[in-house]
Amino acid sequence: MRYKLTFVVGLALGYVLGTRAGRERYEQLKKSARQVAQNPAVRNTAETAAQQGRVYAGKAIHSVSEKVGDRMPDSVTARVRSLRERNHPDGSDDWGTSNT
């Protein structure tokens, strides 16, 4: 009961403070967030992080598939290979690259 009361009080306080800030403050925050998101340095950093994530995910999937692959039934292994070959006949991975 104590946590419910704390939650309701916090919700009411947030509502009151939010309505006092008003629409203008909301629009200011939205504009600032948009400017940060469109900043070339931020975009480059986000793209670099995404690319590194794809690299690490690719390494992880190969490591896991090597360890788990021996324990999977042959029917499952064959099905995964056939799906991979059908979806990527050139041998590329599922991670790809973005055009942003």
> pLDDT tens-digit profile of 54-77?
888 878 877 777 777 667 777 877
CB 95 within 8 A of CB 54: yes
**Cα gap 53→42, rounded to integer Å:** 16
User: Whole-angstrom Cα distance, residue 27 to residue 64?
Assistant: 46
- Confidence grade of residue 99 (pLDDT, cut at 50, 70, 90): very low
What's the pLDDT at 80?
76
Give the relative orientation of helices 2-38 and 40-69 as an angle to the nearest 10 degrees: 110
Q: Which amino acid is at 26?
A: Y
Threshold 0.85, pTM exceeds: no
pLDDT value of residue 98: 47
Quote the pLDDT of residue 24: 79
Over range 16-20, report the average pLDDT: 75
Instruction: Give the pLDDT of residue 89.
Output: 66
- Paired tokens of 31: 């504009």
